[in-house]
Amino acid sequence: MSRRKAMMLLVLSALTLATPATAQPSGAAAPDRYRAWSPPRTAWGDPDLRGTWPLESVGRTPFQRPATFGERATLTDAEYAAARTAAAKAAKGYQAEAAAGKMGAGHWLEPSQGPPLRQTSLITEPADGRIPPMTEAGKARAAAMRSSWSQKVFDSLDDFNSLDRCITRGMPASMLPFPYNNGVRIFQAPGYVVMQLELIHETRIIPLDGRPALPSRMTTWLGSSRGHFEGNTLVIETANFNGESPMVIVGPSNQPIPTSKSLHIVERLTPTGPDTLQYEARVEDPEVLTGPWTMAFPWTRNDGYRLYEYACHEGNEQIGNYIRSTSPRFAAQRKAYQAR
């Protein structure tokens, strides 16, 4: 993957999270309108959540609410009609570009399936649909964050974030839609729920057996999760984060927001129909943010969706290429190579 390609992918990612709402599954309910539903059970009695739940169908709803909507949580009928029209046009982007002999967003962005969400943002709390302001400590940590988006010269691994290095998107970013590779597959076994993430080739293993949390000194990129069912709702509490990944994807429309070891996330997955569930996550990190925030949006099961290998950097060479091509330490080598 070339540097130009990597930069383009980050631009598209940020644009997708920042554009007005234009795509989502049919019949999706807003967070406050759950339908009564008695889901099927597994052989051992848990609500059956198994299947593939790709997030691409909500990828055109902005993560944070555009300021023009204020505290309005849903689109008007006219706005929703316009969003449906825009979604239908975007779904034909690939074909239109191919016919014109061009390559652009239509080739990069996976088409959404179904009509758009009426939500004005994936964030539902606070009332303005935006992440709360950072603390002074959070601002200081954010100012020190580096990534392939912010840097032009790369001297070491410290100049790349965890997504650049193909380690992880982190949490809660891993549970948000992306322009591509949006597959989420849920497996269940007695005492466990397992979430397989297509991007970046990660698996979250969630025990349901009541075991105690890990000691606070034991931290990981995706934290340590413990789950239980409250009625038909799967509740997942995750802590023990290493605080080394961004809270959201870094890009031109998303300021870098760090995480700390105090990050704490509570997720709720509630079945709402034969092939739908409502996903909700409450995120708090008192070291970084002045208050918590919540995102909520519907998932739609699509077992025909195929999860592909996420190779990320072919040959695992890209980070080294960034450093060799920009760092002053390699200036002499570059000059000798160019003189050949």
- 280, 267 contact by CB (below 8 A): yes
For the chain, first and last CA: distance in Å? 25
Q: Residue 225 belongs to what domain range? A: 3-338
pLDDT in tens, 85-118: 888 888 888 888 889 998 887 777 766 556 689 9
Residue 227 DSSP label:
E
Cα(209)–Cα(213) distance, integer angstroms = 11
pLDDT in tens, 143-186: 999 998 888 999 999 999 999 999 999 999 999 998 888 999 99
Rounded to the nearest 5 percent, the helix, strand and coil shares of the chain are 25, 20, 55
**How would DSSP label each residue in 70-95?**
TT--B--HHHHHHHHHHHHHHHTHHH
Q: What pLDDT does residue 312 have?
A: 82
- As for how many domains the chain has, the answer is 1
- Looking at the chain, the number of H-run helices and the number of E-run strands are 7, 10
- CB neighbour list of residue 226: distance below 8 Å, 6 or more residues apart: 206, 207, 208, 211, 213, 236, 237, 238
Lowest mean pLDDT of 203-217, 220-234, 271-285, 315-329, name the range.
Answer: 315-329
